Amino acid sequence: MHLKPNTMKLQATTTTTVALLILLLLGSSSFHLSMAGSAFCDGKCQVRCSKASRHDDCLKYCGICCAACNCVPSGTSGNKDECPCYRDKTTGKGARKRPKCP
């Protein structure tokens, strides 16, 4: 069987495209897994953010703080003295400085 040059080009392009898509899928799934928090932080932050009105934001910032400090205060609010690192994290400097961790 003899293929025409245009058919061979199309076949090579299709193969390359499929290979790139597979690499993209594999890369994105491993990136998602690397961004996943630890079981410790996930569990502690679920409790901490269980009553938060902005649950997703609370989980995001709690996870960041937990990863950096390796602790999360008990309860759904307050108790930040249990974890000074968590308590002292802020979003910036100057007048706009606010607590980062929920």
Does one domain contain both 92 and 44? yes
Q: Is there a domain that residue 2 lies in?
A: no
Same domain, 43 and 92: yes
Overall average pLDDT of the 70-94 stretch:
92
If asked whether residues 46 and 27 sit together in one domain, one would say no
- Tell me whether residue 1 is in a domain: no
Q: Is 30 part of a structural domain of the chain?
A: yes
Calculate mean pLDDT across residues 64-93: 93
Please state, in angstroms and as integers, the Cα–Cα distance from residue 81 to each residue in 67, 78, 85, 93, 102, following that order.
17, 8, 9, 22, 13
Provide the domain limits for residue 74: 39-96
Same domain, yes or no: 57 and 14: no
Q: Are residues 16 and 58 in the same domain?
A: no
Cα(101)–Cα(29) distance, integer angstroms: 28
Q: Domain total for the chain?
A: 2
> 101 in a domain, yes or no?
no
Closest C-alpha to 53, from 2, 3, 94, 102: 102
Within-domain flag for 102: no
Examine residue 22 and state whether it is found in any structural domain, yes or no: yes
Q: Report the chain's terminal Cα–Cα distance, integer Å.
A: 68
17 within a domain of the structure (yes/no): yes
pTM value is 0.61
Question: Per residue in 1-52, pLDDT tens?
Answer: 555 555 556 566 677 777 666 766 666 544 333 344 689 999 999 999 999 9
Same domain, 62 and 82: yes
